[in-house]
């Protein structure tokens, strides 16, 4: 005889299927949209009325109660959250613990990463424009950040796969959608970068995490990994499996998470999103993880304990003491232990990597592999590769923050400069003989309070205010013979800000140095 929970689950699934078909029929039946909606891409709520309440007043009241009833840890500085994605009646109380930690905070954007339960694809899918709609209102997509994330990896693609309902019907993915009402109540208005992953392979998770970290550098972002834990075990066995997953999670080793999932040692349907979020969060400054709440559906009075689903709330964080310590270490490192200058042999190998990579990808060949000559080339550093054709810019892409060993960073940004710079079409075979290469190997970025610290010819500048950011490399000022003031003004213009925005108290000015060399310098 089936347990009460099994019967409830079966009814629940049937309701979801019926609701999904009804939604599909309604959309194909020609929904009349208001004029202001007709040109906007809208991802309509697919599981409102099933996973969570459809009535806005009831939904707001329910979510608010989950958040208010959760314990708050004021010393934590959240960078990423883990939250479950089941029906609120089962997992809402657990999710409330994660969102309580960010209640009332403000972020430039929220990046939500969810698994795909309804479609399979071998990449991470980023929806880059339009809105996600819930009964509580529309959540606008932060297009610029979404596009920057996708531009940083071939494994991250701007796509509607995993976001919109599958082409042949179905209700559409719920794991991302169910996080949004919690975010709307906790944060109020915010901008969203929605990402759905098609798998949990280590390479896919690593690429997504690094792409997020690179694109989000300099922004205040919150990352949310949507995941349930073990599925459909008896209560005690589920707790054992979930405890094993939590133990691995606390090692702060994302690769270990992926390996344990692949070997079936543990279960988490959003394990891939968790690993990607951990990679990004660590590169953005997270130094620890706190488990906030673990439970399963068997802890809910209406459900039985014969076949349960596990839920986890956790926060990847950096508390104020850790932040102060890290900032002090970075300042000391920048002042006392600058990067060792590259040798001629190291520069020659980096130039060879850039040129051979561009030639290979333009011709459709495999990206070549290299063995770095020295340990210096294995150090994680930011870098830009600039391509010119007959003296005119033909492509320039780079990482500001160090996310990979220098030799791999140069290889990746060289390929992107040739094929993915949105300002230019991809380089063609016919253009290869005319290309000129320049590499900028960067030092760490540091914020300054006094513009007198800027040395033209040595420093590049980053200007940030709100969502806007502009960056100019050190050699740009030399090329145009700018003085310090002109360099600041042009960097403001690059950010889309007034030329004197650098004077405002809420504008951040950061500098970095670079070793800049071209083909002539390494002959």
pLDDT at 319: 55
Q: CB under 8 Å, gap of 24 or more: what pairs does 350-355 form?
A: 350/377, 350/406, 350/407, 350/410, 350/439, 350/441, 351/437, 351/439, 351/517, 351/519, 351/522, 353/407, 353/410, 353/411, 353/414, 354/385, 354/410, 354/411, 354/414, 354/437, 354/439, 355/414, 355/437
What integer pLDDT is reported at residue 172 of this predicted model?
75
| pLDDT score for 82 | 98
pLDDT the model gives residue 21? 34
Q: What per-residue confidence (pLDDT) applies to 467?
A: 65
Can you give the pLDDT at residue 120? 82
Fold type of domain 339-430: Glycoprotein, Type 4 Pilin (3.30.700)
Contact 138, 131 (CB under 8 A): yes
Q: What is the pLDDT of residue 37?
A: 47
Q: What is the pLDDT of residue 325?
A: 46
Domain 445-523 class in CATH: alpha beta
Other CB atoms within a 10 A radius of the CB of residue 304 amount to 19
Query: How many CB atoms lie under 10 A from the CB of residue 111?
Result: 29
Q: What is the pTM of this model?
A: 0.58
Domain boundaries, the chain: 4-324, 339-430, 445-523
Instruction: Note the pLDDT tens digit of each residue in 171-195.
Output: 678 999 999 999 999 999 999 999 9
Q: What is the mean pLDDT of each run of 10 residues along the chain (523 residues)?
A: 37 31 33 46 94 96 95 92 96 96 96 92 94 96 96 91 74 90 97 94 93 93 97 93 94 92 92 96 92 93 89 87 47 47 92 96 94 90 92 88 86 94 92 95 86 89 84 86 93 90 91 89 87
CATH architecture of 4-324: 3-Layer(aba) Sandwich (3.40)
pLDDT of residue 404: 83
- Over residues 89-125, the pLDDT tens digits come to 999 999 999 999 999 999 999 999 999 988 888 899 9
What pLDDT does residue 327 have? 47
**What is residue 111's predicted lDDT score, i.e. its pLDDT?**
98
């Amino acid at each position: 005889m089936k347990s009460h929970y099994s019967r409830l689950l079966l009814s629940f699934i049937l309701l979801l299927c019926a609701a999904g078909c009804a939604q599909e029929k309604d959309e194909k039946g020609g929904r009349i949209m208001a004029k202001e909606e007709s040109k906007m891409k809208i991802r309509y709520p697919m599981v409102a009325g099933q996973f969570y309440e459809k009535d806005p007043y009831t939904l707001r009241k329910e979510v608010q109660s989950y958040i208010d009833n959760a314990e708050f840890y004021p010393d934590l500085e959240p960078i990423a959250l883990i939250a479950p994605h089941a029906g609120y009646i089962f997992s809402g109380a657990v999710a409330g613990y994660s969102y309580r930690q960010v209640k009332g905070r403000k972020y430039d954007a929220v990046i939500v990463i969810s698994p795909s339960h309804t479609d399979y694809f071998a990449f991470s899918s980023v929806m880059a424009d339009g809105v996600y709609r819930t009964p509580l209102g529309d959540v606008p997509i932060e297009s610029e950040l979404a596009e920057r994330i996708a531009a940083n990896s071939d494994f991250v693609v701007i796509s509607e796969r995993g976001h919109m309902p599958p082409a042949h019907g179905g209700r559409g993915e719920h794991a991302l959608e169910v996080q949004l009402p919690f975010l709307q109540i906790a944060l109020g208005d915010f901008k969203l970068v929605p990402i759905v992953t098609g798998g949990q392979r280590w390479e896919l998770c690593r690429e997504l995490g690094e792409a997020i970290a690179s694109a989000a550098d300099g922004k205040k972002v919150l990352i949310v990994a949507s995941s349930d834990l073990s599925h459909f075990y008896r209560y005690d066995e589920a707790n054992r499996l979930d405890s094993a997953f939590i133990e691995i999670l606390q090692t702060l080793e994302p690769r270990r998470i992926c390996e344990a999932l692949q070997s079936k040692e543990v279960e988490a349907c959003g394990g891939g999103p968790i690993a990607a979020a951990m990679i990004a969060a660590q590169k953005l400054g997270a130094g620890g993880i706190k488990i906030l709440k673990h439970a399963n559906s068997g802890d809910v009075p209406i459900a039985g304990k014969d076949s349960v689903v596990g839920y986890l709330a956790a926060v990847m964080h950096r508390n104020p003491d850790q932040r102060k310590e890290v900032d002090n270490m970075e300042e000391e490192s920048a002042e006392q232990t600058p990067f060792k200058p590259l040798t001629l042999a190291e520069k020659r190998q980096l130039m060879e990597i850039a040129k051979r990579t561009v030639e290979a990808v333009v011709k459709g060949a495999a990206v070549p592999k290299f063995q770095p000559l020295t340990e210096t080339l294995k150090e994680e550093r930011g870098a830009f590769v600039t391509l010119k054709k007959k003296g005119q810019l033909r492509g320039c892409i780079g990482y500001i923050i160090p996310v990979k060993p220098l030799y791999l960073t140069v290889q990746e940004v060289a390929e992107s400069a040739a094929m993915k710079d949105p300002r230019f079409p991809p380089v063609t075979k016919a253009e290869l003989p005319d290309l000129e290469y320049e590499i900028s190997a960067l030092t760490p970025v540091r914020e300054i309070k006094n513009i007198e610290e800027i040395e033209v010819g040595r420093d590049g500048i980053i200007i940030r205010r709100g969502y806007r950011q502009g960056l100019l490399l050190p050699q740009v000022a030399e090329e145009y013979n700018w003085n310090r003031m002109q360099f600041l003004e042009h960097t403001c213009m690059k950010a889309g800000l007034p030329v004197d925005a650098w004077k405002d108290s809420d504008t951040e000015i950061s500098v970095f140095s670079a070793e800049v060399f071209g083909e002539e310098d390494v002959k």
